Amino acid sequence: MGLVELTVMSDLLKLIEQRHSSRDPFDPDRPVAKEDLRRIIEAARWAPTAHNMQNFDIIVVDDKGVLEEIGKIKSRVPEAFIRENYQQLSFSEKELLQKKVGILGTGFPPDWRDAAKLDKAVRENKPSPLSQRIRGSPVLLIVVYDARKRAPASEGDVLGFMSLGCVMENMWLMAQSLGISAQVLSVFSKDAVDKEVKRTLRVPEHMKVAFALRLGYPVPAAVKSLRVRRDAKALTHHNRFGNKDLG
């Protein structure tokens, strides 16, 4: 393998390692260039999909008025999210480094981080506008798919959803390579939100929202958060499950 190929592989791995979810507010007055949006869509176009069905469309929303309309749509955090989210939290960087999975609890409301107060958090959970999730993003890429179709012999269209995940990852990595911050907003796929988003954007009823990708530039500059992954040896098995010696 030549030096050029090794460099490309190293750059790709570095890009994958740097990709992260940006939960910071974005500068609404700093647009994402149309050429960059075209590159991100081109990356989505070449994502692998089951049976090459390419069962997705992308709605680019960068009109401030339309973004404001979407921002007014309200959604409530599901009870299951609040309770199951707690199980994935670490309460210090030391704990997170030891676990190597999950996330720091500091980014969530205090009641979500206290087992004794989870019932209270659920009771007091009120609907909030999507503007609190969009957080100033100058552009949303909303991915929709035809709910009448499924990948061949794929119960529940599991392969179709895997394909949408590939679309997501391709767009995310391209955005990262262009220095554009991103965050996936899965709340857009909730039935009540899906219905209102489709009404606002005139999306046909048979289409379903998969997710929205929030793009932009953090303001102020994003603060790096602790990111962890399991060691490769811990998740790799050689020939038989449990055999950790790859050689």
Which structural domains are found in the chain, ordered by start? Answer: 24-75+130-220 (3.40.109.10), 77-125 (no CATH)
pLDDT at residue 38 in the model: 98
The answer, yes or no, to whether residue 79 has pLDDT greater than 80, is yes
pTM: 0.91
pLDDT surpasses 90 at 124:
yes
pLDDT number for residue 64: 97
8: pLDDT strictly greater than 90: no
| Strongest mean pLDDT among 135-139, 216-220, 235-239 | 135-139
The per-residue pLDDT for 144 is 98
- Name residue 182's beta-bridge partners: 215
Can you tell me the distance from the alpha carbon of 42 to that of 113, in angstroms, rounded to the nearest whole number? 40
Write down the mean pLDDT value for the chain.
94
At 159, the pLDDT band (50, 70, 90 cuts) reads: very high
Give the residue among 39, 6, 7, 48 at the shortest CA–CA distance from 172: 39
Would you say residue 6 has pLDDT above 70? no
Q: Are 90 and 99 in contact (CB under 8 A)?
A: yes
Tens digit of pLDDT for each residue in 9-59? 679 999 999 999 998 999 999 999 999 999 999 999 999 999 999 999 999
Q: Sorting pLDDT into bands at 50, 70 and 90, what band is 239?
A: confident
